[in-house]
Amino acid sequence: MEPSPAPNDPTPTPTIPTTLRGRADLALRLKDAWAANTQLVFIWTTAAEFGPKAVAFEAAVTAREAAGQLRPQVTGNLRALDDQMEDGLNYVKGYLAEKFTKARAKEHYAQFGIITYRNGYILPTDQSQRLKALDQLLAALKANDFEDRTYGTAFWQPLRAAYATATGQATGAAQSVTKAIADREPLHDYVLDVLQAMLSLLDAQYRDPQVRAAKRRELGYLDEFS
């Protein structure tokens, strides 16, 4: 609940930013200014309590932003690796058809970690299962004397390593997002309560519109960032 402008106030009350980044930045500005304005007092919280929580809230917002920025990169890496594997798998199937005939090649797919999916034959789409399938494929390449072929061990081993790294990053990014949100939400509720209550307190304490507007700006409530 945001306070209404005081009667005949030529400077309307600034609105609280709607974005988490905007609120975090405002909280940091208020943290610094409130400590110098000891006349502004609530019975339910203090400037000393608000300061560390404002810093923690901004840190949680930053952590969520950083984790979110990483996820598209990781997803893009995984997609590129999937494309390379799909291309390489077609050649491995060709090796099997060449060695065992096209009619009997599918009998050996399971040895290479290849599964049936709808009307096709692929590596598992689940990331952990795909890693296991890649290990099977590498072992089967060697067992069937394909390791020195163009799409043999030298092709698949780096892909397997890159895929393990990318899936680890994807899991880490997801966990980071979850933790950042869990850390942020209780702090957000508290910080937003203070940001809104401070505007009401300023309306009550400073009856002169010009003085009130100047005090708002001093505390970090900048109209251009609302």
What is the pLDDT at residue 152? 96
What is the pLDDT at residue 226? 45
Report whether pLDDT(166) > 80. Answer: yes
Tokens of 76: 């893009």
Tokens of 203: 């309306």
Dihedral of alpha carbons 161, 167, 171, 177, sign: positive
| Per-residue confidence band for 119, with pLDDT thresholds at 50, 70 and 90 | confident
User: CA–CA separation, 55 vs 25, rounded Å?
Assistant: 10
How large a percentage of the chain has pLDDT more than 70?
93
Q: Coil, strand, or helix at residue 102?
A: coil
The one-letter code for the residue type at 82 is: D
Mean pLDDT along residues 181-185 = 87
Residue 15: Cβ within 10 Å count: 12
Q: What is the pLDDT of residues 63-85, one digit of tens each?
A: 888 877 777 888 899 999 999 99
The one-letter code for the residue type at 222 is: L
Report whether pLDDT(186) > 60. Answer: yes
Mean pLDDT along residues 124-146 = 95
User: What one-character DSSP code corresponds to residue 121?
Assistant: E
* Domain extents in the chain: 20-225
What is the pLDDT at residue 11? 65
Q: What is the pLDDT of residues 30-58, one digit of tens each?
A: 999 999 999 999 999 999 999 999 999 99
Whether residue 219 contacts residue 11, with contact meaning beta carbons closer than 8 Å, is answered with no
Mean pLDDT along residues 208-221 = 94
CA angle 48, 181, 24 (to 5 degrees): 45
Of 190, 196, 185, which is closest to residue 16 (Cα–Cα)? Answer: 196
What is the pLDDT at residue 1? 47
What is the pLDDT at residue 216? 94
Report whether pLDDT(4) > 60. Answer: no
Q: Coil, strand, or helix at residue 58?
A: helix
Of 62, 18, 67, which is closest to residue 184 (Cα–Cα)? Answer: 62
What average pLDDT does the chain have?
90
Report whether pLDDT(177) > 50. Answer: yes
Report whether pLDDT(6) > 60. Answer: no
C-alpha torsion 21→175→137→98, nearest 10? -30
